[in-house]
Chains A and B, each alone.
Chain A
Amino acid sequence: MEYEDFNDNDSLEIFKKSGGNILLTSVDNVINWGRSNSIWPLTFATSCCGIEMMAAGAARHDFARFGIEVYRASPRQADVIVVAGTIVHKMAPVLKRLYDQMADPKYVIAMGACAISGGPFYTNSYSVVRGVDHVIPVDVYIPGCPPRPEALIYGVLQLQRKIKAESKENRMETRNNFI
């Protein structure tokens, strides 16, 4: 999907192309439903947003309800990398390497102002990467400094919608459009 076409979150369903083979699309739907409800995140927290990510996984907010449950320590077992915190120039190659180590299909959530644009460190800082999308392609952006756990849950739900709307043709679209 082109950037201009994306008006609101409802346009996500444009992803879903009509007129496919009835058997293949039904199989796709079932597979996507299953995949979207068991997204395993990577334990990757660089700074403050990591604490809110922990809070989202803990007793009150409990985002295990949405299937994004098992924090994996190894990128090889993870489906989604939640970039929670600032990425600096020294960390950027490590992040790229972690992303490359993840198995397809893989997704990225940029959590917090630092991961989106550098946030409070956008001006005057000599070492901060201005947005994690300079390094890896991002599927969902969650604004806030730091975002509340509810915001993270909302972001995860948007990612689930995106996964559900995917088909074999456009699964790699985000990554292919990434320069």
Chain B
Amino acid sequence: MVEKAEVILGENEQYVINMGPQHPSTHGVLRFELSLKGEIVDKVVPHCGYIHRGIEKMCEANTYQQIIHLTDRMDYLSAHPNNEAVSLLVEKALGIEVPERVKVIRTMLSELGRLGSHQLWWAAFGMDLGALTTFFYGLRDREKILDIFEESFGSRLLHSYICPGGLMNDIHPNFKTRVKELIPYLRKKLPEYDQLLTGNVIFTERSKNIGIMTKEDAISYGITGPSGRGSGFACDVRKAEPYSAYDRVDFKEILMTEGDTFARYQVRILEMYESIKILEQLVDQIPDGDYTVKMKPIIKLPEGEYYQRVETARGELGVYAVSTGEKFPDRMRFRTPNFSNLFIIDKLARGHKIADLVAISGSLDLVIPDIDR
């Protein structure tokens, strides 16, 4: 008679598996080293560097206008805020005041980018949890925003449009009417998102009470953006330190207190409505005037250290530059939102099932080239 084995393999003992770097749910080339007990996650060790391109080092051999093009490629879903961060830093260092027209257009572009980014996140998040329909709905609406981008700057994703001193060129004459058409379109379509996912029983079961992040955690790990605001951490740079035209628009900083995956989801959904509100206020207020101030072909910042932060779709992006008075920066450092947001995943995923890890990493909205730079 065969004796019954006492130990089922993997049931009680710990074992380690790799998730990534090529995995559809890590949204790029992130690698998680998972310690599992059965199906329960015991420990998550994120491994970075699979898309480390050395952008910070490259900045030391590029002029400030050239650096703009590298920042695009970090967080490619919020290209405008990334460009804006470097532009604002240069303008602050040189003491340049950009025209009102530039400020309003920059704000509108950032919000359009935020809408597109959140729609893509919503599409991918639904797909992570097994709802393929969200992918088509989200990207359908995103294409409308990309049409506006394409008309004005000729590119869909990496625009390099905001540059030190203003904008690369003037917006297309159709820009205003296109945005005006977009606002009612999105107002009609965004409730579909709620109908499809927010009330869905499968979705709420998989997201409520999963990966709870307390406010203290969010602050100590430096979680910013919608992920931090889902835990009640008021970290919106647009409110705390208004730049461009954010001081004159009326919008609400969305705060949730639950801190679970569902709260982070809801913050992003509600933020889309706020973005539409900002666009609505600004679309008729684009003043006439120059689209740029005249800049020298080679910008030399005065000696010193500079820091500028902006709010991208994923959180706070900080740019730190050290200048020795040369045309190249001596040191350029990016405090990217995704890098800080990533490392809490160990704390959030512990004790949950491995399938919940996918939901948690999806709700943090990670863009991997932004982590590795």
Contact = CB atoms under 8 A, between A and B. Distances in A.
Contact of B57 (A46, A54, A124): A124
B28 A46 contact: yes
A55 B139 contact: yes
A146 B73 CA distance: 10
Interface in B116-151: 120, 123-124, 135-137, 139-140, 142-143, 146
Interface string A111-129: 0000000001101111110
B53 interface: yes
Contacts of A90: 49-50, 52
Given A46-B28, A48-B157, A127 B76 contact: no
B123 to A, nearest CB: 8
A28 B76 CA distance: 43
A125 B143 contact: no
Contacts of A59: 136-137, 139-140, 143
A48 B23 CA distance: 16
Contacts of A1: none
B70 interface: yes
Contacts of B77: 51
Interface in B27-55: 28-29, 49-54
A153 to B, nearest CB: 14
A86 B51 contact: yes
A140 interface: no
A44 B22 contact: yes
Contacts, number: 106
A35 interface: no
A119 B136 CA distance: 30
Contacts of B158: 48, 145-146
Given A55-B143, A58-B136, A59-B136, A50 B53 contact: no
B239 interface: no
Interface residues of B, number: 37
A48 B156 contact: no
A170 interface: no
Nearest to A61: B143
B21 interface: yes
A73 interface: yes
A130 to B, nearest CB: 12
Given A51-B76, A94-B21, A148 B53 contact: no
Interface string A10-49: 0000000000000000000000000000000011111110
B164 interface: no
Contacts of B156: 52, 55, 146, 148
B343 to A, nearest CB: 19
Given A47-B76, A88-B50, A125 B157 contact: no
Contacts of B57: 124-126
B117 to A, nearest CB: 10
A60 B157 contact: no
A98 interface: yes
Interface in A162-178: none
Given A54-B124, A90-B49, A125-B57, 6 more contacts: A47-B28, A51-B77, A60-B143, A73-B24, A123-B61, A146-B156
21 contacts: A46-B368, A47-B368, A48-B157, A54-B139, A55-B139, A55-B143, A58-B139, A58-B143, A59-B143, A60-B139, A85-B51, A85-B369, A86-B51, A88-B52, A91-B29, A91-B50, A120-B73, A121-B58, A125-B53, A128-B53, A146-B158
